[in-house]
Structures are given as C-alpha cells and as structure tokens.
Chains A and B, each alone.
Chain A
Amino acid sequence: MSILSRAEVRLLRPRVVAPEAEVGIAGPILEACRRASFKLGGPRLRRLGVTSSLRGEGRSTVALAMALVQQLDYGRSALLLELDLENPSLAPRVGADGRPGLCELLRGDVSLERALQAVPDGPLFLAAGAAFGSPVRAVTELARGDILARVAGSVDVVVADLPPLLASDHGRAAAALFDQLLLVVRAGVTPVVRIREAVSGLPAPPAVLLNGVRQDLPTWMRRLIGT
C-alpha cells in the first residue's frame, strides 16, 4: 500500500525551488536514453538501477535522463533515487536539497513524504541524505526493510543512481536491489578487464549504455571504407 496516491505525487509541491536550476540534459543524451529506455521495456519498466564499473562514466547523468524519459515520453510518474551514498552528486544538479533523504528515512528521522522532493519539470527525487556509519549498512537496511517497496509503490518507475560496481564498497549490494540494471560504460576510457570484473559478480548480464562514443574517422573516410 502506497503512502501517497499518484495524484498526490503529481501535486506535490517542491520544497526546494531553485528557478535557475534546470535539469540540463543534452539532447543527444536524452535521445540515446530514449532508445535505451524503449529497449529495456519502455512503459513496462518498474525498477532500473543505473550503475557503472568506475566513477566518472556518466552514470548520474544517464540515471537522470532515464527518469526524465519515463516521465516525458510515457507520462509516468518517475522517482530518481540516489543510492551513491559515498559520493552523492545529483541534488545540486536537479536543484534539490541534499538532505533529508534516504539515510534520514532509513533512520526514521523523517517520513517518506518529507524526504521526497519534486524537481521542477523533472521526476521526484529522493536524495542520498546524510550517511550514518557505513554505506553498506544503509544499503543492507534498505534491502531488509520495505522502504524501497513503498517508494516503488508510490510511483510508476524508480530509477536509481547506483554506486559504481568496482569503486565502491556497496556497489554490488545496491545493484542486487534492482532486477534491471543499466551499465554505463565510458567509451575509450574504461578498460575491458575492468568491465569484465564489474559484471562478473552480477546475477545476469546487464544492458550497456556506451557513453561518449566518438567518431574518430572523418566522414569521407567512413564512406570510403563503408563503416
């Protein structure tokens, strides 16, 4: 049973309103996420974890874009959940407060209604909040409790910005909470061995979004060699 009706979610007023804070996602990223979203199930998508092997591969941007696509293209209520508890970065980007968030919610300091923030022209946002103790412990509690189920029940789709699989202690534990994973790989940066290492412990091979693909060859040469 959800704590908020969908209508209430849509009507939820943002507590943090930063007029200058726009959710600036470049068109090509949105377009790529639109295709990825469609291939991952489109309007049937329920819980999506966006992760990567290492930091700096564009994971948070892709998570934000995926949530936006769900909301804009399919008219679904989407929640952007920040699960990178060690290095949260989404709140300033979407013009929201960094706390209270998930950690406060797990501690029982705030209610879900209070923890959720509405982003102008964007999805609902649940920040990481102020971490208490080890992030692994927070993720373990999240897995043990029903908060995630409650959150998912209140919206159509949950898109989580997960910690990187290799560069974080709680990456794998957080990834295990989501049945669908999108692995962001930075083209020309992430070595194959690190990707292999990252996906080796996952129960199922994740879908991959290749970020920063560059056309090194000039157009005339691509035409010449037919690539």
Chain B
Amino acid sequence: MVRYLETFYRHRRLLLVPLVLILVVTAVVLKSQPPSYVSTARLWVEPQTPLVPQNSAYNPYLTPAQNEAADLTELLGTEYFSDRVARSGPLYRYLASRPVVPSLLSRLEAHLGLGGQRTHLPTRAEIQTMAYTLISKQVQAVAAGPQIVEVTFTFTDPVVAAGTTEAVVTEFISQSLSTQRAQEETAVAFYQQQVKQAQANLAAADARVNAYLDAHPDERNVTVIPDARLTQLQRADDDAQQQYQDVLGKLNQAEIDQRALNAPGASGFQILDSAQVPSSPTLSKTRLVEALGAGFGFGLLVLILGLVVLTLADTTVRHPEDLEQALDLVAVGTVPELAPRRQARIA
C-alpha cells in the first residue's frame, strides 16, 4: 500500500493528467452534442370516476397517477402505440423529411458496389423503427403526485418535441377511452344475453304455474291453502322473476355506463398543462452527472491501472528495507536526495 502511495506521489502529475483529460473530454463531448429540448405535459387523473367503472387491472396499493403512469409506460413500449403517436403528431413527417445517413462502412461498401447503403430518405419501415426507438426511449411518464402524471419528451427539435408530447397525451387518453368503451360494449352484450335467458326462464316458470292451476282449478280460490307442489312452482317463478330483474338492472347500468363514456371528461383525465414549445435547450442534470461520473470513473480506472503498472515496473531500491528484503544486503547509511540547486552546486 505504501509503495502505491509513494508511486502516486512520485508521479502525481502524470497520473492525474488522464483523469483530468478524460473529464475535460467528457465535458467537451457533452457540450458538442446537438441541443435537446424537453417538452412536458401534465395530466390530472380522477381518483374514482362515478360514471366510469374501475379498471380491474388497477393496483389498489398504488395511487391513480402511478397506475396510469405504469399503463402509459407499458404502451410506450409497443410499436402500435409509437406508430400512432408518430402519425398523429409531427414526428412522422419530421423523420420522413430527414435523409438517413448510413455508417461510413456501409457507405464505403455502397461505393465499392458490395452492398451497403447510400444516404437516402427513410422508408416507411425505417421511419416506424426510428419512431419506436425514439418514443420508447425518450418519452418518460412518471407520477408527479398522487393524481398527476407528468409526460416528457426530449428531442432535438423543440416544435416536434412539443407536438409529440401532445400526441402522446392525446393518444393515451384516446387509447384509455377506447379500452373502456370496448369493455362496456362487451358488458352490454353479455347482459343482453343474460336478460334474454332470464326472460325465457321467467316465461317457462310462469307457464308451469299456469299449467298447474289449469289442472287444479280449486287452487285458484284464494281461500284455499296452496298445496306443496303449487307453492314450489310459485317460488321457482318468483326466483326467475328476481333473477330477471337483477340482470335487467345490470344491463341498464352497463348501458348507462356506455353512454356516459361519450360524455366530455368521461375518460377520467384532464390535461392540466399542455405541452409547450420549449424556448431553450436543456442539458439534463442527470445526464450531466452520469456523463461526468462515467468520465471520472473511467479516469480513475486509468489512474489505478497506471499506478499498478508504474509500481510493478519499478524494480529499483528505494529504501534500506528494500535492500534487505530483495538482496539480503545491509545498508550502513542513507544519503537523502538533495534539492537540484544544491546538487548542481556540489557538482
């Protein structure tokens, strides 16, 4: 350990140079990157919308904003959603207007006729891929509060950044509403089927009661105590009636819910802050810290490697103990190193 410390102090300038250089290069590279603009939109999420049924996928232990942010993040990872966002916002047009510059090797291969690609306008598939990559990586959806979802998009063009953020929000609300509508349609169709079945059951029960009364006219007299068979049939009829009423009530509720989804604000979202065109580029603090941290870490690694190499490469004797350990020789004295000025005078 002491040897390494001594080596460090002996070569401290040499060892610190790479560390400083790497930090400087990191800062310069960071500075030379194209400017990035961050556009942000904020959504208010209703905790419980009476008109909208609760989504069964909701985690009750999370806040509404966390649930919605998780849903949006999940959607952002799909090509379907990113394509919809790109097409409804300005991103698709922006990407379509920018020529694709292949790698130097690919261009060289194209020049030599070995395949490869020249600079060209992107195809539809390339645009979709680029849009997916951008949206899945550059759009962030986080819960900024219990009921606020914050959506940000970082891009090199401020107008596209704002437009795409807006498109993400709009598409997310639309997607959420579509999902709810589809669920309600399914529910209505299901309950309609149930009502039909209950109606048939009720009609059958009524018919059985009437048939029994026709066969036993005495039983129609209100003063006569109904026999056990009639009582049983009447109970079955009452049950069928009750079941029919239940299912009918559910069908009515499902139809009301379905109609309610067409009312304004039925999605349960409200755009608090719409995406604005950012006026100045932003250097993310996180990115800065990460880049500088990585630069520092790499520089430190180079420093440690340099230290190890210099220490291991030093096979000279520096202290009397080294003499005894390495050569089994005894030092009878040590002359301290004199300052260069003093040495020069002596010489």
Quick one: CB contact mask for B1-35 with A, threshold 8 Å, 1 for yes?
11001110110000000000000000000000000
Chain A residues within an 8 Å CB radius of B1: 225
**Total A-B contacts with CB atoms under 8 angstroms apart:** 120
Q: Scan residues 12-37 of chain A and give those whose CB is less than 8 A from a CB of chain B.
A: 24-26, 28-29, 32-33, 35-36
Q: Which of A187, A196, A207 contacts B316 (CB 8 A)?
A: A187
CB nearest to A193 among chain B residues: B315
User: Is B264 an interface position by the 8 A CB rule?
Assistant: no
- Given A188-B318, A189-B316, A196-B327, are A209 and B335 neighbors across the interface (CB < 8 Å)? yes
User: Is A167 an interface position by the 8 A CB rule?
Assistant: no
Chain A contributes a number of interface residues (CB within 8 A of B) equal to 44
User: Is A112 an interface position by the 8 A CB rule?
Assistant: no
Stretch in A124-132, A151-159, A213-221 touching the partner: A213-221
Chain B residues within an 8 Å CB radius of A189: 316
Least Cβ–Cβ distance between A178 and chain B, in angstroms: 15
Q: Is the CB of A32 within 8 A of B334?
A: yes
Chain B residues within an 8 Å CB radius of A221: 5, 9
Q: Is the CB of A58 within 8 A of B335?
A: yes
User: Is B304 an interface position by the 8 A CB rule?
Assistant: no
- Given A191-B316, A218-B9, are A210 and B330 neighbors across the interface (CB < 8 Å)? no
Q: Is the CB of A209 within 8 A of B334?
A: yes
Q: Is the CB of A207 within 8 A of B332?
A: yes
Quick one: CB contact mask for B285-329 with A, threshold 8 Å, 1 for yes?
000000000000000000000000000001111111011001111
CB nearest to B5 among chain A residues: A217
Give the distance in Å from the alpha carbon of A190 to the alpha carbon of B322 in the complex. 12
Give the distance in Å from the alpha carbon of A212 to the alpha carbon of B1 in the complex. 22
Least Cβ–Cβ distance between B323 and chain A, in angstroms: 6
Q: Which of A29, A36, A61, A199 contacts B329 (CB 8 A)?
A: A199
User: Is A195 an interface position by the 8 A CB rule?
Assistant: yes
Q: Is the CB of B332 within 8 A of A208?
A: yes
Quick one: CB contact mask for A177-213 with B, threshold 8 Å, 1 for yes?
0000011010111111101100100000111111111
Chain A residues within an 8 Å CB radius of B316: 187-192
Please classify the interface of chain A as helix (H, G, I), strand (E, B), loop, or mixed, using the class held by over half of its residues.
mixed
Q: Scan residues 263-282 of chain B and give those whose CB is less than 8 A from a CB of chain A.
A: none
Stretch in B60-68, B72-80, B83-91, B338-346 touching the partner: B338-346
User: Is A147 an interface position by the 8 A CB rule?
Assistant: no
Give the distance in Å from the alpha carbon of A68 to the alpha carbon of B328 in the complex. 29
Give the distance in Å from the alpha carbon of A213 to the alpha carbon of B320 in the complex. 9
User: Is B217 an interface position by the 8 A CB rule?
Assistant: no
Q: Is the CB of B346 within 8 A of A61?
A: yes
Q: Is the CB of B333 within 8 A of A39?
A: yes
Q: Is the CB of A213 within 8 A of B334?
A: yes
Q: Is the CB of A26 within 8 A of B346?
A: yes
User: Is B104 an interface position by the 8 A CB rule?
Assistant: no
Q: Is the CB of A182 within 8 A of B332?
A: yes
Give the distance in Å from the alpha carbon of A209 to the alpha carbon of B329 in the complex. 10
Q: Is the CB of B315 within 8 A of A208?
A: no
Residues on B close to A: CB < 8 A? 1-2, 5-7, 9-10, 314-320, 322-323, 326-338, 342, 345-346
With A39-B333, A183-B329, A221-B9 known, 10 other A-B pairs at CB within 8 A are A29-B346, A33-B335, A58-B335, A185-B323, A187-B318, A193-B315, A199-B329, A209-B331, A210-B333, A227-B2
